[in-house]
Structure 1
Amino acid sequence: MGDPGAAGLRSVLAARDWRSAGSFLRSVTDPDDRAFYLNVCASVKGVQDWADEWIAAEPGSTLPLLVKGAHGIRWAWEARGAATAERTGEQQFREFHRRLKVAEDCLDEVVERDPGDVAAWSFLVVSARGREVGREETLRRFHAATSGHPWHLHTHSQMLQWLCAKWFGSEEEMFAFARRAVADAPLGSPLGRLVAEAHLEKWLSLDRGEDDAYMTRPDVRAELRAAADRSVRHPAYRRRPGWPEDHNVFACAFALAGDHVAAKERFEAFGDLVTAIPWRYLGDPGGICERLRRVALAYA
């Protein structure tokens, strides 16, 4: 995402240099930034192979446990694959749950030792879906994370996923959660993207033809614009680590809604910093983004 800190972190983790990784991560104090860089850690292959060495070397620190836990969740989903449940093999599910247990054991130890660790609680909201811990426990994790940082983007985005109809919630709950969070958040907050994410989830759930008819409805377009006005288009919005994803999410939603002027603004805002989310849900991120960008620029 064009972030020098993220590039450096990936480099030292790939080299198994946990000392440098730890030094960098300890310098990051903002909870949203911390979640972004932990997701960078989660994306580096092979961390599970040597994380225990870091844990053994720093028994008094929760940081290596946090990194192993965050990485373990991504590692678990890699074992499960992207297919639907009925197309996922029994062995894949066994390995998925085994890896999730490893991740949760690490994160549980972090919050036991440091109950105020926002990042650990946030990643426990992610694993709540895979382990199917139930509504009460998931909400407990969500509230534990947001009590320390009320507008934590990663936690809210993951809770929105839990509330999707394809997981454990419903369309009504998903939209109510997104709208309430955006209305309550400070102006300029990246949480405005939750409304766009909810509409994209709805679009994905519909059959071909119905999906485009839905996204191009005047009320959907209006709500997307209102959310962007409170978020990425507001003067109070600030670019923090991971910022391109906010604009990519809105660009995708506006493009699918046929709001070419609004889409063009977001495409220009992130330039060539195309992110996997949300484009991967439509196909190849680079190809899909470029095709929709051309349409927006042509018709805006």
Structure 2
Amino acid sequence: MWPFNRGRSAAEEEVPEFAHFLGDAAAERLRFVLRKRDWDTARAILSTDDPEHRSYYIRIAAGTLGIEKWISGPIREDPDSDLPLLIKACHMVSWSWELPGAATDGTATSADKESMAEHLRRAEAILDEVLERNPRDADAWMYKLEASRVQGLPQVERWRRFERLIEADPTHWFGHEEMLWCLRPDWGGNTPAMFDFARTRAAACPGTHVPTLVVLAHRAHTWHLAKAKNPGKADRSLDLTYYENEKVMNDIWNASQLSVWHDDYRETLLTPIAWNNFAFAFTYGDYHKPAWSLYEAMGADWITEHPWDDVDFFVKSKAYTQDNLDD
């Protein structure tokens, strides 16, 4: 049972760093060359034949500041290519969250909201053009799905987009993660639908990262509980004792058996996402030996920012597990 029993601090061992690019040299280089406006090199990286790498690289490109200032050049120079169109649209959707119209604190004006709506209409028009050329572009469907959440579209439309996405790529991690967000209570969904989705897709995709959705659903639920308890408090601390519940941990354990500990599971670029999320849940559910095996797999190279958010919290969590291995 937590909290940490021996008070071990980050100062007692070398402080690790988050693996911001999942340890992938091509991903880190992609961010660098996009900032340098080197489209030829970026295009070569983004044109990978591996769907999982492509989805991750497009996510990096979509979040690269300043790409909107020059991506129209490659579109003009290569009008038959889907790729620069896709990158432009994905960037527009990704950065729509930064627009004044996206504010949820009541500060967004009618003009702000209309400006954001027009921004997203343009982004969706470009995504539709990409999908007219290639209806099975799962990454385009992923950003169509995210755009549906930004715009607050009905759940039936969100589901339609998700179904088209998994027709193209049944185990697309980021598409599944986005659909889970679409079903969260704070984004127009509800808790039963969120958990049903996570468990149903976990069962449908054994031997993949997808069952990690179950951990994400429980984490989202703890956030929702904290919000309900203190609705006016912006900085809410999540109740980590939630994971000591036997039913919660049975759910997460079953998900781990469908994912990282399934006989058919193979480690890939996105495996650290699963490792870190299951390690977090096992740590606070007092499943110390399973948690420790994941910490050992992660080592110092595969620590992701989420779900830890803070390096010191990660270090203390790992130390807590190590201290309690014999319990």
TM-score, normalised to structure 1, is: 0.89
Matches of residues 74-89 of structure 1 in structure 2 within 5 Å?
74-79=94-99, 85-86=104-105, 88-89=107-108
Judging by fraction of residues, say which structure has more helix: 1
Specify the alignment match of 2:40 in structure 1: 19
Could you say what the CA RMSD is over the residues aligned between the two structures, in angstroms?
2.3
The correspondence of residues 1-300 of structure 1 with structure 2, limited to 5 A, is: 1-26=22-47, 28-79=48-99, 85-86=104-105, 88-90=107-109, 93=113, 96-186=116-206, 188-207=207-226, 211-272=239-300, 273-280=302-309, 285-300=310-325
C-alpha distance in 1 between matches for 2:288 and 2:275: 14
2: CA distance, partners of 1:112 / 1:155: 19
Q: Is the 8 A contact 1:33 1:240 kept in 2?
A: no
| Alignment deviations for residues 136-155 of structure 1 (CA, whole Å, 9 cap, x no partner) | 22111111111112222111
Tell me, which stretches of 5 or more residues in structure 2 are unaligned?
1-21, 230-236
Contact map agreement 1:252 1:278 (CA 8 A) in 2: yes
Deviations 1:149-172 (A, max 9, x none): 222211111111101111121110
Specify whether residues 103 and 276 from structure 1 end up closer, same or farther in structure 2 by C-alpha distance, changes over 3 A only: farther
Q: What amino acid does structure 2 have at the position aligned with 1:203?
A: T
Return closer, same or farther for 1:103/1:199 CA change in 2, 3 Å cut-off: same
Amino acid of the structure 2 residue aligned with 1:67 = I
Task: Quote the offset at 1:78 in angstroms.
Answer: 2.8
Q: In structure 2, do the counterparts of structure 1 residues 276 and 170 end up closer, same or farther at CA, with 3 Å as the change threshold?
A: same
Structure ranking higher on relative contact order (CA contacts 8 Å, 6+ apart):
2
Residues 76, 97 of structure 1: 8 Å contact kept: no
Q: Which amino acid letter does the alignment assign opposite residue 4 of structure 1? A: A
Distance 1:123 1:192 in 2: 21
Structure 1 residue 92, shift from structure 2 partner: 6.1
The separation in 1 between residues aligned to 2:284 and 2:117, in whole angstroms, is 35
Paired AA for residue 176 in structure 1 = D
User: Could you tell me which amino acid in structure 2 is paired with residue 256 of structure 1?
Assistant: Y
| Residues 27 and 57, structure 2, Cα contact 8 Å, conserved in 1 | yes
Distance 1:210 1:64, change over 3 A: closer
Larger radius of gyration: 2
| 1:237 counterpart SS class | coil
Determine if contact 1:157/1:194 at 8 Å carries over to the other structure. yes
Percent of aligned pairs with the same amino acid? 33
After TM superposition, give the deviation of residue 120 of structure 1 in Å.
0.3
On the 8 A contact 1:231/1:237 being kept in 2, the answer is: yes
Which region of structure 1 is more displaced relative to structure 2, 88-97 or 103-112? 88-97
Q: 1:105-129, CA deviations, whole angstroms, 9 ceiling, x for partnerless residues? A: 3212111222111110111111110
TM-score relative to the length of structure 2:
0.82
Distance 2:24 2:238 in 1: 38
Q: Is the Cα contact below 8 Å between 2:101 and 2:108 reproduced in 1?
A: no
Whole-Å separation in 2 of the counterparts to 1:249 and 1:96: 33
Q: Structure 1, residues 45-85: CA drift from partner, whole Å, max 9, x if none?
A: 111111111111111111001111222222112335997x1
Aligned counterparts of 1:177 and 1:149: Cα–Cα separation in 2: 17
* Secondary structure of the corresponding residue to residue 194 of structure 1: helix
1:210, 1:14 → 2: CA distance? 36
